[in-house]
Chains A and B, each alone.
Chain A
């Protein structure tokens, strides 16, 4: 199917053996001599003024080595978006959610640290709470931050084309709403941080982060250190999905304690703290009015959205933009208006989570398409096929789609799931509890711009051939958090150099190795993939030119293939080079023979000629997007797209929804690793299904989470998951390495709406509040839905 030896195969992950033998080291697995344990004092109140903090009893406790509050940490504002730095390491004037951090302790053991936390006395003046995102911006509501009038953290007002014209052209116009709840990343590894200061005074922090580069910058800024004296290392990470992408107080406080005590300090979150820290999915309140012409072509979308983002901005500005911009595709839509409001409330801050900002918006829009199709008497997949974009088109908000297998994906799921047959069967015995639904999705393949304004390369890769010959080391700052980016880098390098995966070692996730913006916005395969390919080609060019010079042949006539240096222009006389290599290896066995130089020989001889063979690669996207305010968010060198069909059974009396099967197709451009592409799709299906049916953070009236554990914050178990069929579509993206683009997030887009549409097919009622709990289904059935 392809001309590649390694790419496009089902190569084993490079880290799999470590992970299934228990050798893989996650941050909490590290121990250091003299290591201290840290604990954080979290606010028990959702909104209060801090009147006084008394740490004296904590400091006096034997075993306590340091207690820090804002007095030691300072109040340098930080956050994710420079335009909205609204956090400080510790609260100093106010606490803004239950869990907000007030102090930290380092002690010789965890027990003592926790005991000391208990001894810190804080006097609060309780303030009225803002807990409802819908009313947070109303006049007269208590204000969380001085800088956010009416609790408005960010707003967006876009108008592309002319929606009034769109209205006039419409045959049917519908307005629908969809609300969701805040959700949690629920990665299996709780955040963990180990910080130490080395003999040179450099701060070294190991952290279960998705973005070592941004964390390095934030540490340096908030702790007021020179950037080059701060090093962030990401060991094995047990999943992130977005919430681990921003720098946290746990990271900052642990570093501060290490600097203060001169000893290594570790903190590992309890599962409850994962929920308190959150930085996960926002709560969305979407209202959409969509018009369609008689022939089934879309005429306009008028979209209004309120995001409840919790106490701080975090990634929220990007979230509110993404919620609007990513509806520009995958359908031809000339007229689109968007009004988005991101408010702050006294709940844990929300941030990025898989499908950043776009998931619930996508869900409502796809539900609307089904409703419009029904009113028009069109099959929902027909309607979609009528409207899908093709490669080479640009959306109304100026997103250029350079490859686009949307039609192929939709047709693939339609055929694979036997849509026609099941749809007709469902039609005959309509509302019998069996249903089938479809939906599509659209997502970026790497954010077009860095979070801070800069011309920076988004990634660099440094690849070096072992001086002894044979092995190759790839160094990258990219963060493998379980998605498999190290394996992608190893595969690209092995492919380019004509060697095996086993010849390549990848070291990554270290800010000292190279710049890489991190594992977010589904950027690594495309961006770091480009840089990795360039670095490998640089290495290859150096080896070939060195050998070519020695053999007096043009370098273009040489190539690296299947572990050998091969000539494209007839046999070469390599005897002299071979003799030199053998002379160096007297006493060794298993020496090279045969008419061709091995890769090991070629690498060694190139080193003898040139010194270190180091190749470098880099990538940054070209300037992208329009010139309107906020045009940067949503831009990408490429866009992934996906389609899914969900089949459900609804118990019409209890409201229990069982998902019987999900068939998904995703256009990833080109599958570097087919197994990993499927794995990302299947993981997305699970997360989307959980968000559709069971996942919700629940608060009491004091802003406290009542289900901050994995028993009551429900993610699907193996028994809940149906068979997941993942179909790979390859459209060959011109801007991606080897044609590759994203799969990590795009695949979640169609999950929720396909389930919503299937439930409607099964029951005849629409549910406009997520998650679709049995109770909500029963309530809708009893009232006949709306």
Chain B
């Protein structure tokens, strides 16, 4: 792997980071956290004008035409990310803004109102090992458990995983189900946005140039609530999920009706999706077998899967139902304090 030439900016504070980001936006700057996605994306392609990718990508004109392969494109034309999916055109940035010195952005803070503030540079391993998260925001812990491999988790950050906006991102899906709020900061101040509204498409978010994702705030779980995440893939590590589903479920009382439910779906649309159809089906009902089956079927309506080399749209859709059903049961058991 050979990386293009760039300079690395290493701010010591978030304020400095915002200032540097603003100052270098015109020249081209990307934010570097763990680097597990960005550096792969920036690497030089082995075949000029050609990186492995899915059908439909604009490598060269279709059909039997004369093509002259002229290779200045590395610096000017669309590049693809690892994994072959489409990514917006990127010019190798002149600067990377590395967040590694921003200690404030690494770590967890459980607040008095029961909510949890997670620094964007908290590693996936930190999330995975946090007892607080496993108890209160189990779906997030389970998203962290199966993200990539231990080596990816040691370097990769939750902020990076969310901001990178892959449809299958293992912490983004539970973050949406847990109705977290993202805190963005720039020289012009702070703004917050619901996690579900943050991604807009593959690799695309509402983040503006000059903004840094600084914190993710998870609201306090309700008293009788539970959450769960499951990643379906072909092996047990080093995987991008075929389908990922996260569920948050709250009961009015143990054994009582559903007070709140939130389901998010990964890898079945251009971005991690909130399954809005589940709530109306389940809210206020006793979560018995029938209700859960109805809810799981409802989740299928929100999925927008496509066929690709990781799985067919058909299979993905079927699995949304299976996983949602199973996870609702798991979350229910947790809400009732059974596990």
Contacts and interface: CB of A to CB of B under 8 A. Distances in A.
Interface of A: 41-45, 48, 51, 98-99, 110-111, 114, 117-128, 270, 272-273, 276, 653-654, 656, 693-694, 698, 700-702, 704-712, 714, 716-720, 773-775, 778-779
A125 B315 contact: no
Given A654-B322, A702-B59, A706-B309, A123 B68 contact: yes
Given A121-B68, A709-B52, A717-B238, 17 more contacts: A44-B48, A98-B50, A117-B48, A124-B69, A126-B63, A270-B1, A272-B46, A700-B54, A704-B50, A704-B52, A707-B84, A711-B238, A712-B84, A712-B240, A773-B234, A774-B315, A779-B315
Contacts, number: 131
A707 B308 CA distance: 11
B237 A719 contact: yes
Interface stretch (B7-15, B70-78, B175-183): B70-78
A127 B64 contact: yes
Given A126-B67, A654-B319, A654-B322, A705 B52 contact: yes
A694 B235 contact: yes
Nearest to A43: B47
B49 A44 contact: yes
A125 B48 contact: no
Contacts of A778: 315, 318
Contacts of A719: 235-237
A718 to B, nearest CB: 8
Contacts of A718: 237
B2 interface: yes
**Which 8 pairs show the lowest CB-CB distances between chains A and B?**
A118-B71, A719-B236, A44-B50, A775-B315, A717-B237, A698-B309, A126-B64, A653-B322
B55 interface: yes
Interface in B299-339: 309-312, 315, 318-319, 322-323
B322 A125 contact: no
A119 B75 CA distance: 13
Contacts of A705: 52
Nearest to B72: A118
B134 interface: no
A44 B323 CA distance: 40
B184 to A, nearest CB: 29
Contacts of B59: 44, 702
Contacts of A720: 235-237
Nearest to B67: A124
B27 interface: no
Contacts of B52: 272, 704-709
B84 A706 contact: yes
Interface in B54-93: 54-55, 59-60, 63-72, 74, 82-84
B312 A114 contact: no
B242 interface: yes
27 contacts: A44-B47, A45-B67, A118-B74, A121-B68, A121-B71, A123-B67, A124-B69, A125-B64, A126-B65, A276-B46, A653-B322, A654-B232, A654-B322, A698-B309, A701-B55, A706-B309, A707-B52, A709-B82, A712-B84, A712-B310, A714-B235, A717-B235, A717-B237, A718-B237, A773-B234, A774-B232, A775-B242
A272 B80 CA distance: 14
Contacts of A51: 66
Contacts of B238: 710-711, 714, 717
A48 B63 CA distance: 12
Given A123-B68, A124-B69, A276-B46, A114 B2 contact: yes
Nearest to A119: B71
B149 interface: yes
B182 to A, nearest CB: 27
Given A775-B312, A778-B318, A114 B44 contact: yes
A183 B120 CA distance: 39
Interface string B211-242: 00000000000000000000010111111101
A270 B51 CA distance: 13
Contacts of A114: 2, 44
A712 B234 CA distance: 10
Given A654-B232, A705-B52, A714-B235, A774 B67 contact: no
B9 to A, nearest CB: 22
Contacts of B67: 45, 48, 123-124, 126
Contacts of A99: 47
B204 interface: no
Contacts of A702: 55, 59
B315 A42 contact: no
Contacts of B64: 125-128
B68 A693 contact: no
B24 interface: no
Contact of A123 (B1, B66, B234): B66
A712 B309 contact: yes
A578 B50 CA distance: 73
B327 to A, nearest CB: 12
B30 interface: no
A705 B80 CA distance: 14
A42 B46 contact: yes
B1 to A, nearest CB: 7
Given A111-B2, A117-B71, A702-B59, A125 B49 contact: no
B258 to A, nearest CB: 23
A656 B50 contact: no
Contact of B149 (A121, A128, A717): A717
B53 interface: yes
A99 B50 CA distance: 10
Contacts of B82: 709, 711
B46 A273 contact: yes
Nearest to B3: A111
A453 B64 CA distance: 43
Contact of B66 (A124, A693, A701): A124
Nearest to B321: A653
A743 to B, nearest CB: 26
B47 to A, nearest CB: 5
Contacts of B70: 121
A44 B53 CA distance: 12
Given A114-B44, A270-B46, A774 B242 contact: yes
Interface string B232-274: 1011111110100000000000000000000000000000000
Nearest to A694: B234
A715 to B, nearest CB: 8
A61 to B, nearest CB: 12
B71, B74, B242, most chain A CB atoms within 10 A: B71
Contacts of A779: 315
Contacts of B71: 117-121
B71 to A, nearest CB: 4
A41, A118, A714, most chain B CB atoms within 10 A: A118
Contact of B240 (A42, A123, A653, A711): A711
Contacts of B242: 774-775
Contacts of A653: 322
Contacts of B66: 51, 123-126
B65 A42 contact: no
A720 B48 CA distance: 36
B240 to A, nearest CB: 7
A272, A693, A708, most chain B CB atoms within 10 A: A272
Contacts of B318: 778
A111 B232 CA distance: 40
A745 to B, nearest CB: 24
A189 B68 CA distance: 34
Nearest to A693: B234
B106 to A, nearest CB: 26
B1, B52, B59, B311, most chain A CB atoms within 10 A: B52
B235 A711 contact: no
A126 B66 CA distance: 6
A41 B70 CA distance: 12
B53 A704 contact: yes
Contacts of B237: 717-720
Nearest to A110: B2
